[in-house]
Structure 1
Amino acid sequence: MIAKNIKGKSFKGCVNYVMNDTAELLEADGVWADSTKDMIRSFAMQRSGRKEIKQPVGHIPISFSPEDKHRMTNDFMVQLAKEYMQEMGIKNTQYVIVRHHNTDNDHLHIVYNRIDNDLKLISVNHDYKRNIKTCKRLKDKYNLTYGKGKENVKREKLDNPDKVRYYIHDAIKAVLPTCKHPADLRFALQKFNIEIDYKFKRTTREIEGVSFRYDNIAFKGSEIDRKFSFGNLKKEFEKNIEEAKKRGREEFLREQAEQKAKKEVQKKTEIQPISVKRNLVILGVELSAEQEKILREGGIIFVENMIHPNDNTKFSAYAFTNDDKNNISFSNKNPAEFVKYGKYEMRIRDKILIEKGFVTKAKVKWYGGGFAYPYLWKEKKSDVEYMENWGDPRVKKEKKEEKKQIIIPKINKKPKL
């Protein structure tokens, strides 16, 4: 037994959807049920008493396992639907219970009015966990079959938002074993066109939550799967880091053995000592070799638990360098996203670098859906507007300075006697 709670704006669209050609009306309460139009009109009349409510439609699809098909009589399905509504606090309101016969899985739809008979709003906020507990209680009470995991769900038969939820689930599962940091997961999911939003604590700026978005449909990590809450994702990152360290140690020992064997063969060959290079440290956090490589190549990394130099509080942020790779800047938002600044829509990283006084080769959105790359900077940080040039202004400045360094000796004429 699986149920989901959906809020909607239109009773007409919802009722027309559930009352399809395979629909069987099992029960109606508080509505005229002679026709689909009568149902819609009944819901709409009561809804009109609270016109300020934007989403008055409650829609609950409930699906049952094929193993329980022989038990799914109409009376039993109505009993389960009404107990589910009671547990979820959906009472004293109009509703219809409709059974569908268009799939192998027995399932029904409940359409109810979130504006109850006393014109009070039935809240369904934060109902995700309550929904899970209610389904579990009913399955245990009536000995219904538990699902065998998301792998056995037939994706091709899903509709949105479930279709998107399973798409995101499969994408995360595919890339997670290669991710050691939150930024790794963000970049890995970009090829699936999935966006990530991290929720930060106000005091420490540490990540405390995560949500995923695809095709304008968003889910919290825990809504996709408990394994994908940020707490559990962090455990996976740490496990991947430990596995990488273990592989690194094994590789190091193998290299040592190879070097030892090479020394035995080439005893007379002078071998230069290997210098151990310490990784780059940013505000108290030592970067991994992979993070440092990305940063030095002009990429973006996400650094956690840095120490703020002003008040010694911990914070996490994206890090990136300027064009000359000699200064590191930070941003709470993804620096690769675009923002309107001046007359251009440019990357957040370009805006930050311009405001810090750096000359930056910006990436700006251009006519026709393309991009352009002007050089933008401010003569003074306090300037309101930035300067613009399609050639690198630093090159001209260097040539000008070279000319200044050329000294033409003065020829002193001999004084007249």
Structure 2
Amino acid sequence: MIAKNIKGKSFKGCVLYVLNDSHELLEAEGVLADSAKSIIRSFAMQRSGRKEIKQPVGHIPISFSPEDSHRLTCNFMLQLTREYMEEMGIKNTQYIIVRHHNTENEHLHIVYNRIDNNLKLISVNNDYKRNVKTCKKLKDKYNLTYGKGKDRVKREKLNDPDKVKYYIYDTIKAVLPSCKVPADLRFSLKKYGIELEYKFKRGTNQIEGVSFRYNNIAFKGSQIDRKFSFGNLKKAFEENIKLLRVQAKEEQNYVSKEKEQVIREPQIQQEQPPKGQSKTENKPEVRIIGGVKLTPQQWQTLEEGGFIYLEGLKKKDDSGNFSSYVFLNDEKDKAFSSKENPNTFVKYGKYEMRIRDKMLIEAGYITKAKVKWYGGGFAYPYLWKENKGDTEYRESWSDPRISKEKENKSQKETRGNKPIIKRQRPKMG
């Protein structure tokens, strides 16, 4: 349950917004509710008694977690809203409570007159703190789901400056795990158009504060999130250094463990027809991986980017059999085996990616990886290593193979139409 308190000037605009095509009017108090026009007129009449008040409109959207949707009957939502209004001191005034059905998150809107029935102004002092306290009280009372803070906010519905604040928040969160010193964070954010400025203690080079700027909108680190104050960022840098050391040791252990897996990496081969039988006969092609014949359905699953589980695979050195998950590289010309489900996510570098993506990168392939992204979604960067022995991978948001092909094509075109003569080595006699 999350609520936001908004003050406004126009009852007309607010009422027309909440009474949209998906609305359901749950309750109306002190207004004639036969139409939107009547509701607006009722609010305006009472508002006219205090014309000096510039922002008479009170508007509170309240949204609920999808995990609670099965409990959110209209009666229950109405009960929660009434208790919320009582705790917030919204009483003895006109209001409407409207439920919307146009998003996956169940939510409603309260529109109320800040000028009450006695023409007194309903105070909104400290409404932010009271709102947080009230929401927590109701969530605890009715055992409602706690959200995941900023990660659950619908970014696409934000406007500046909130839109910029969340963009900076999401970007810092994404790049911070790979930063070991303040300069790392500055250069990482620069790629995304975010300027970082450190505040130094007067007369020294000691950093005591930090701010972030994007599209000429700036925030102190603590305004973005408390964990992004410089003191907390410094702690994060120190933790990252410790974590990278641990990961380096784990990586060494992983490489030694994976040697056995590489040795038994299955190969793809196509079954040859018996002698005297033509290849052109209308028989389905049979493919074999590690000595195991695949069904057409299994091969189709692999070609479509899925994985299968095979038993009785032969090791390369014929020292025995094993069972494993199997998947193909992007070119569909080589099979890889994994003891664990290859779609399981593991931490590798700054991303959390699938085991299959990690294995392909380690094997020297360019792969379009599936990585966990902020807000509970996924991103698909291209990741690879220039050399297998590299400790870090490279990344691109466009396919580097296509870029390379275009570059090669461009180089050929600049040479003109002159034939290229290749010198052949003399054959050994």
TM-score bracket relative to the smaller structure: 0.3 to 0.5
Instruction: Give the TM-score taking structure 2 as reference length.
Output: 0.46
